[in-house]
Amino acid sequence: MNIIHFKYWFDRFKDTEFLFIAGPCSAESEDQVMTTATALEKIPLVKVFRAGVWKPRTSPDSFEGYGKGALNWLRLVKERTRLLTTVEVAKAEHVEQALESGAVDILWIGARTTGNPFSVQEIAEVLRGVDIPVLIKNPIFPDLKLWLGAFERLYKAGIKKLAAIHRGFYPMIKQKLRNIPMWEVPIELKTEYPQIPIIGDPSHIAGVTDYVGEIAQKYLDFNFDGLMIEVHPDPTKALSDARQQLTPEQFSNLISELHFRRPDFDREFVDKLEKYRMQIDSIDYQILQLLSQRMDIVRKIGKYKNEHDISIFQLHRWKQIVISRMKTGLRLGLDKDFIRNFIQIIHKESINQQFKVKKNGKKNKK
């Protein structure tokens, strides 16, 4: 793919080494949009104003955006500030309305839409022959091929001004971050397709303001090409994503605390060692998540055994576990002793957990 880098998207981007996009999750009123844009305009690094006009919400009862009418507020941003604008589009009608309004400079495709090839194709079709940059968020699930498929669909429709947005992946198990970064996925994208710029979205990974700064810094350390951050003049009153939006002041402080790499720093995404370390970090994190999930199930089994007076240790089940895990481990190229030790440690902890359940059960009976 012969993608055109964002430095060549607009004349005013000429010296843009790092693309900063900021603005509220949703456009809520002319006043909210203009107050945010006026504050953001004062931060020279910010080049693009974001605001959702059509919001993909989990519940139909949630605020789904003001739609077409809100594009008028974005037009004011374009007219009255130096900022360019971007909105999320999820279907042909959105694209048509965004283009007709003349209020939108850049489109972005949201995580839920990227995961749906029909929708991406529909967007690609209406964009055929149109010269507008498109940012593509990763799909909700860590499927790099699906993410790349969206790039290919747009590219084949003639869109060459493309960039990726990494916003993390849906966590199967509840954890402190709203979405799991799984850094290995964007790294793989960067390794396979170095021509695609990647923008980080710390707001949607964090889910709460507390972690936005540290994740933003991580993106800089990993040499991502830009950041998209949600900023709202009064986040507590926001109609969507209230907990993760920063005030313009918090945002400006965050920027001043960020440590940018020296401009002469080797622009390689990450050196090899760092890349491997990130992969290890991410894998260890997933192993721990899985272990915690295993122990949850173990405790449920413990409770069941306790209620039905079944003994905790079952020799035939243990033998079965050892044989099947050894077989799988060996097939995966792991060392025999290592697999045996590993299963034993897990099994020991599982037995401990079940004894704890039993002890608590007795206490509760008393």
Q: Is 227 in the site for ligand PEP (CB under 6 A)?
A: no
Q: Binding mask 107-136 vs ligand PEP (x if CB under 6 A, - otherwise)?
A: ---xxx------------------------
Report how far residue 195's alpha carbon sits from residue 134's, in angstroms, rounded to the nearest whole number. 15
Q: Is 25 in the site for ligand PEP (CB under 6 A)?
A: yes
Among residues 241, 246, 275, 354, the one that binds Mn ion under rule CB under 5 A: 241
Q: How far is the CB of 298 from Mn ion (least distance, A)?
A: 37
Task: Give the other-Cβ count within 10 Å of 83's Cβ.
Answer: 22
Residue 167: which of ligand PEP, Mn ion, none does it interact with, CB under 5 to 8 A by kind? ligand PEP
Question: Pick from 242, 224, 222: which is nearest to 233 by CA?
Answer: 242
Among residues 47, 94, 161, 204, the one that binds ligand PEP under rule CB under 6 A: 204
Backbone phi, psi, residue 251, to 5°:
-65, -45
Between helices 184-192 and 272-307, what is the axis angle to 10°?
150
Q: Is 25 in the site for Mn ion (CB under 5 A)?
A: yes
Nearer to ligand PEP, 52 or 248 (CB): 52
Nearer to Mn ion, 184 or 241 (CB): 241
Q: Is 105 in the site for Mn ion (CB under 5 A)?
A: no
Please, which residues have CB within 8 angstroms of residue 349's CB and are 6 or more apart in sequence?
A: 295
Nearer to ligand PEP, 110 or 186 (CB): 110
Nearer to ligand PEP, 206 or 270 (CB): 206
The SS3 call for residue 62 is coil
Report how far residue 261's alpha carbon sits from residue 223's, in angstroms, rounded to the nearest whole number. 8
The SS3 call for residue 247 is coil
> Is 173:221 a contact under the CB 8 Å cutoff?
no
Q: Which two tokens stand for residue 354?
A: 């079940």
Q: How far is the CB of 90 from Mn ion (least distance, A)?
A: 14
Q: How far is the CB of 78 from ligand PEP (least distance, A)?
A: 20
Q: How far apart are the first and last CA of the chain?
A: 69
Query: Please, which of residues 235-294 interact with ligand PEP by CB under 6 A?
Result: none
Task: Give the other-Cβ count within 10 Å of 67's Cβ.
Answer: 14
Q: Is 166 in the site for ligand PEP (CB under 6 A)?
A: no
Q: Is 161 in the site for ligand PEP (CB under 6 A)?
A: no
The binding site for Mn ion (CB under 5 A) comprises: 25, 241
